[in-house]
Structure 1
Amino acid sequence: MKPVPTPTPDTRDWFDRIDAGELTVPRCAACGSFFLYPRSSCPRCGARSVELVPAAGTGVLLSFVVNHRGPAGFEAPYALGVVALAEGPRLTGVVRTDRPDRLEVDAPVRVAFEERGERRVVCFDLEEATA
């Protein structure tokens, strides 16, 4: 079976929301900065007034690698990408596509969720091109 995250006290609420099909981003109520990974204090100003806010669920592909020999549970080839979310933070996840050889940096993506047992994980789908 594919791996699933093990939440910590600081990340439990974030992962619970992912399990519910909602992507959120931590935001500092003091300075307004968005950040990932979830933690109890702001990495920018140190304030402990952190809240989870709904994310737009969109972003752009900053970098990716196409794996041709994956670990158990992963059907190769598959792409793992670093995505800049619309809110600014970067998040890594599988980019779901039938043609990983056609991926390009700056491609628009939308968040999706993959069920893995009782958990869900964040992944990304390519946005459809508009003509």
Structure 2
Amino acid sequence: MIRPMVNRDSQFFWDGTAAGELRVQKCNSCGDLRFPPGPACPSCGALDRGHVVTAGTGTVFSYVVHRHPPVPGKELPIVIALIDLDEGVRMVGEVVDVADTEIEIGMPLRVDYNRIDDELTLPIWRRA
């Protein structure tokens, strides 16, 4: 399996998935939420960052069905969606237990977690 890159900007996110929380970076200066996380707020430039725990719900904004080439550790097809979180940010995620013919824009989703090993828990998305 290809593992995601974890660094000081994203460590809080991966700590959250291990704890069963979907965390999104928040600027402690202006309050804006952002994903993916980064070192400075794109709205105000502040370096004072924190995070919020989201409700873990959202809707499909867009999606793609990956059919080829093979992906190590995955069975094809893979449904990948751009998800509008209820908190107002978007993130990319794998949608499971929804057939590639059933996925649709606007479909409500909820986050779940796939524990790979002691060091990695991935967020996955299911029909709400």
TM-score (norm 2): 0.90
Q: Secondary structure at the match of 1:101?
A: coil
Matched with 1:21 is 20
CA 1:38/1:115 → structure 2, altered by over 3 Å: closer, same or farther? same
What RMSD, in angstroms, separates the aligned Cα atoms of the two structures? 1.4
Q: What amino acid maps onto 2:25 in structure 1?
A: P
Task: Flag structure 1 segments of 5+ consecutive residues without an equivalent.
Answer: none
Residues 1-131 of structure 1 mapped to structure 2, 5 A cutoff: 2-69=1-68, 70-118=70-118, 119-127=120-128
Percentage identity across paired residues of the two chains: 30
C-alpha displacement of 1:67: 1.9
TM-score (norm 1): 0.88
CA 1:56/1:77 → structure 2, altered by over 3 Å: closer, same or farther? same
Task: Flag structure 2 segments of 5+ consecutive residues without an equivalent.
Answer: none
C-alpha displacement of 1:29: 2.0
CA 1:87/1:76 → structure 2, altered by over 3 Å: closer, same or farther? same
Q: Secondary structure at the match of 1:43?
A: coil
C-alpha displacement of 1:98: 4.2
Structure 2: distance between partners of 1:24 and 1:90: 12
Contact 1:79 1:94 in 2 (8 A): yes
Q: What amino acid maps onto 2:99 in structure 1?
A: R
